[in-house]
Chains A and B, each alone.
Chain A
Amino acid sequence: VTTPDFGAEFIDEYFAECDEHLVAVRHALLTVESTLASGRVDPAAIEQLFRSMHSIKGLSGMVELRDAELLAHELESRLRDLRDGNARWSPAALDALALAMRTLEAVIGARREQRLGPDITPAVSRLRTPDASSAAHDDAGGPRAAASSHARPAPHRRRWRFTYAPTADTAGRHVNVNVIRERLLGIGEIEQATPHVPPGGGIVFEFVVATDADTSVFAPWVDDGVTWDTVDDAPAQPSVEVAAHAAASAVAPSHLVRVDLARLDDLMRIVGGLVITRARLSDHLGRLEPRLAASEWRGVQESVGALERQLRDLREAVMRVRMVPVGEVFHRMRFVVRDLAREAGRHVHMEMQGEGTHIDKFVIERMLDPLLHLVRNAVSHGLEPAAERRAKGKPEEGRLALRASTAGDVVVIVVEDDGRGVNRAAVVESARAGGLAVPEGPIDDAQLLELICSPGFSTRKEADLASGRGVGMAVVRRTVLEMGGSLMLETEPDRGTRFTIQLPLTLAITDALITTVGDRTFAVPQAAVREVMEVEAASVRQLENNEVITYRDGVLPVLRLARAFGLPETARATFHAFVIGQGASRVAVLVDRIVGQREIVVRTFSEALIKVPGVGGATELGDGRVVLILDAGTLVRRGRERSIA
């Protein structure tokens, strides 16, 4: 459940995101306008406008900026009509869009400066009836040129600077600034209206107007104190110019700085380099210790200790900079759900928890599509229609919960619905039909997840979804694993489905356990390790063709790391093991020894050739040795496969 002041908390984020969308909107509008002039419509640009409006609508709803939400909604509807051919493109339609977008910017800008925004009704009514509105200008007595300017297909717009200096004479004839303004509105768009006090006092008004009317239209206004000159000779793209101007004025002081993620990556890499250098320093000092007097050594130790703490603080500070609240993504989901529910005719009650949980920006960006997929699945296929729910004795309103929480170094995200649950029989059937190996007998949740995440798996439903988003469960799992996370499924017929995603807080630097197998050293990200234990060789039992150990009240499949990587196995009386995976998919990985814990800098392999299953990357230890980082997700799967096979 969201707190009421959630909007206030994210307001700066809101402005930043709106800025991005408005930049995209300006670009798209420019493209639309220029292609329209040559008689075409650019579908990509329309789509961009459509998407941006949709996002701004959602974002504005979040911060309860109703005018912006309403305006974006109107724009979205209008764009949909235009896109779907239910409305005709015309210069008037384009003008209406431009006016509405300008107003939208002004509304957002006003909120940023904490002042009242402009009235949005003119923009909305013009959007709804763009042609009627331009006709209304004529009826109001505007110059005839106005009508023809709107009807002409390729506008030869120019920008003019009109200057109006009121005098006692003009005032006597009831000509005032409002009258002049109306006239200018009749011939084009006013981009700017500013009063100036000329050197001797008095007042002049300067209007920058984009118009395709020519001087013959406004020549008679000289008598009313109006003069003009051109602002530039280039044909103007009026709406875009306008938008750019509005944006400039909307730039208000803010306490936020937007930084390219790549720069933060650089920063993180530098910190990573420092971490390694510090580890080297420690190694060198270790060798020097016997040669130093105790008093000297203490001093060195203290400095190194301080360096280590400061480095950790630095690392955490850099990490914090990269952290964003999960709530941003959750709230995007809310609008997806709203639309989906409407389309699918479902009543959905959405619950959110832990929106304030922070996670690495990179991680959550990558997770956006997978989360969308899970949410879409839940609404479209998990939750039943109201009638079906009523028949089952459930409340008509389906429940969808998004929860986030932090547990140590990991962030846990849960997507849960109280729908019909995953249909095991249907999954098994279509998996077999698709030629996938399916174990005999009843399958558990982990096996079910395995099946629906198989690249070859598709039910008709799944295909529908994939065509909608281009993301299937296979991609969901792959992304989670690539992030060094894990995915778990729990489902029960008619009770619902729960996906639990565990993700590392951040990727670049992490704490790891250092383990050895024979003469090899490996690092295991600590976030993935649930438990560490000692295992007596004799306690490893053979169960069918799998090895298991007794673990609490059950058994746990065993994966010998040496065997998994084809390394020589050493005979030992005791092994160390670490438990990875969650729920039913836990696996104990057997290594010779767990030798310690270290801060490691993760370097991922970018070349496909050196991508080895089970290895997530490499890191450099203090002594300069490069060790491989185990990829827990893949190991879990291999452990499970062995136990299934």
Chain B
Amino acid sequence: MVAASLRPLGDVSFVEAATGLEAVEHLAMAETAMMVLDLNMPDMHGLDVLRFVRRHPLYRTLPVIVLTTRDDPGSERASIEAGATMYLTKPFAPDALAAHARSVLAVATR
């Protein structure tokens, strides 16, 4: 669903991870331009993934869009504090996500 809505971005490849640890693994295994992160994941919480990413020089500037079901101010604040580039909640409009992703990437590559 997320991958599908990002397809308009053009010539990019997507790697999906089922767990937080897997997300981190993918991050290290292939060059990654952007991460769309769910908070509620088994074995490593999205926020922990985000904090891990921000702690490491290699990924410090990686754009991370937090996309989660929970629309509570607590997780938004926590995400932003942990270094999320953008915080979006599900359900989302697919073209909106693509647009956000485009703008985030544009800022990142400038």
Interface residues of A (CB under 8 A from B): 110, 113-116, 118-119, 166, 168, 171, 176-178, 181, 193, 195, 197, 201-203, 205
Cβ–Cβ contact B21 & A178, under 8 A: yes
Q: Given the known inter-chain contacts A177-B22, A193-B21, please indicate yes or no for A203 contacting B29, CB distance below 8 A.
A: yes
Complex CA gap A178/B52 in Å reads: 18
Of B2-10, B36-44, B92-100, the stretch lying at the interface with chain A is B36-44
The one of A115, A119, A171, A197 that contacts B56, using a Cβ cutoff of 8 Å: A197
Complex CA gap A265/B62 in Å reads: 54
Residues of B59-101 whose CB lies within 8 A of A: 68, 70, 74-75, 77-78
Q: Given the known inter-chain contacts A114-B74, A116-B75, A118-B42, please indicate yes or no for A171 contacting B21, CB distance below 8 A.
A: no
Cβ–Cβ contact B44 & A193, under 8 A: yes
CB distance from A183 to the nearest CB of B (A): 13
The one of A114, A116, A177, A181 that contacts B40, using a Cβ cutoff of 8 Å: A116
Interface residues of B (CB under 8 A from A): 18-19, 21-22, 24-25, 27-29, 39-40, 42-45, 47, 52, 56, 58, 68, 70, 74-75, 77-78
On chain B, the residues within 8 Å of A168 by CB distance are 29
Pull 23 A–B residue pairs with CB atoms less than 8 Å apart, ordered by A: A114-B75, A114-B78, A115-B39, A115-B74, A115-B75, A116-B68, A119-B40, A168-B29, A177-B24, A177-B25, A178-B18, A181-B21, A195-B25, A195-B44, A195-B52, A197-B56, A197-B58, A201-B28, A201-B58, A202-B28, A203-B28, A203-B29, A205-B21
Describe A's contact surface by its main secondary structure: loop
**Which residue, B19, B24, B42, B74, has most C-beta atoms of chain A within 10 A?**
B24
Cβ–Cβ contact B28 & A197, under 8 A: yes
Cβ–Cβ contact A203 & B25, under 8 A: yes
Residue of B nearest to A179 (CB): B22
Cβ–Cβ contact B24 & A203, under 8 A: yes
CB distance from A639 to the nearest CB of B (A): 58
Cβ–Cβ contact B78 & A171, under 8 A: no
Cβ–Cβ contact B42 & A113, under 8 A: no
Q: Given the known inter-chain contacts A116-B39, A181-B43, A195-B52, please indicate yes or no for A176 contacting B74, CB distance below 8 A.
A: no
Cβ–Cβ contact B43 & A193, under 8 A: yes
The one of B25, B42, B56, B75 that contacts A205, using a Cβ cutoff of 8 Å: B25
CB distance from A396 to the nearest CB of B (A): 39
On chain A, the residues within 8 Å of B74 by CB distance are 114-115
On chain B, the residues within 8 Å of A118 by CB distance are 42, 45
Cβ–Cβ contact A203 & B27, under 8 A: yes
Complex CA gap A178/B42 in Å reads: 11
CB distance from A91 to the nearest CB of B (A): 23
On chain A, the residues within 8 Å of B21 by CB distance are 177-178, 181, 193, 195, 205
Complex CA gap A115/B18 in Å reads: 19
The one of B18, B29, B47, B56 that contacts A166, using a Cβ cutoff of 8 Å: B29
Cβ–Cβ contact B22 & A176, under 8 A: yes
Cβ–Cβ contact B40 & A166, under 8 A: no
On chain B, the residues within 8 Å of A116 by CB distance are 39-40, 45, 68, 70, 75
Cβ–Cβ contact A115 & B42, under 8 A: no
CB distance from B23 to the nearest CB of A (A): 9
Residue of B nearest to A116 (CB): B40
Complex CA gap A110/B40 in Å reads: 11
On chain B, the residues within 8 Å of A166 by CB distance are 25, 28-29
On chain A, the residues within 8 Å of B40 by CB distance are 116, 119
CB distance from B26 to the nearest CB of A (A): 8
CB distance from B13 to the nearest CB of A (A): 14
CB distance from B62 to the nearest CB of A (A): 13
The one of B19, B43, B45, B52 that contacts A115, using a Cβ cutoff of 8 Å: B45
On chain B, the residues within 8 Å of A205 by CB distance are 21, 24-25
Complex CA gap A113/B47 in Å reads: 11
Complex CA gap A500/B52 in Å reads: 57
Residue of A nearest to B42 (CB): A119
On chain A, the residues within 8 Å of B68 by CB distance are 116
The one of B25, B39, B70 that contacts A176, using a Cβ cutoff of 8 Å: B25
CB distance from B104 to the nearest CB of A (A): 22
On chain A, the residues within 8 Å of B70 by CB distance are 116
Complex CA gap A637/B45 in Å reads: 63
CB distance from B10 to the nearest CB of A (A): 25
Cβ–Cβ contact A171 & B43, under 8 A: no
CB distance from A376 to the nearest CB of B (A): 39
Complex CA gap A201/B28 in Å reads: 8
Cβ–Cβ contact B24 & A115, under 8 A: no
**Which residue, A114, A119, A203, has most C-beta atoms of chain B within 10 A?**
A203
The 9 A-B pairs at the shortest CB distance, nearest first, are namely A203-B28, A114-B74, A195-B24, A177-B25, A177-B21, A197-B56, A116-B40, A178-B22, A202-B28
CB distance from B29 to the nearest CB of A (A): 6
**Besides A114-B74, A116-B40, 14 new A-B residue pairs in contact (Cβ under 8 A), listed by A number:** A114-B75, A115-B39, A115-B45, A115-B47, A115-B75, A119-B40, A166-B28, A166-B29, A168-B29, A176-B25, A177-B19, A181-B43, A193-B21, A203-B29
Cβ–Cβ contact B19 & A178, under 8 A: yes
Complex CA gap A193/B19 in Å reads: 12
Complex CA gap A395/B108 in Å reads: 68
CB distance from B48 to the nearest CB of A (A): 9
Cβ–Cβ contact A113 & B78, under 8 A: yes
Residue of B nearest to A202 (CB): B28
Complex CA gap A110/B74 in Å reads: 11
Complex CA gap A113/B81 in Å reads: 12
On chain B, the residues within 8 Å of A115 by CB distance are 39, 45, 47, 74-75, 78
Complex CA gap A167/B66 in Å reads: 27
Complex CA gap A193/B42 in Å reads: 12
CB distance from A195 to the nearest CB of B (A): 4
On chain A, the residues within 8 Å of B24 by CB distance are 177, 195, 203, 205
CB distance from A360 to the nearest CB of B (A): 34
Complex CA gap A168/B28 in Å reads: 11
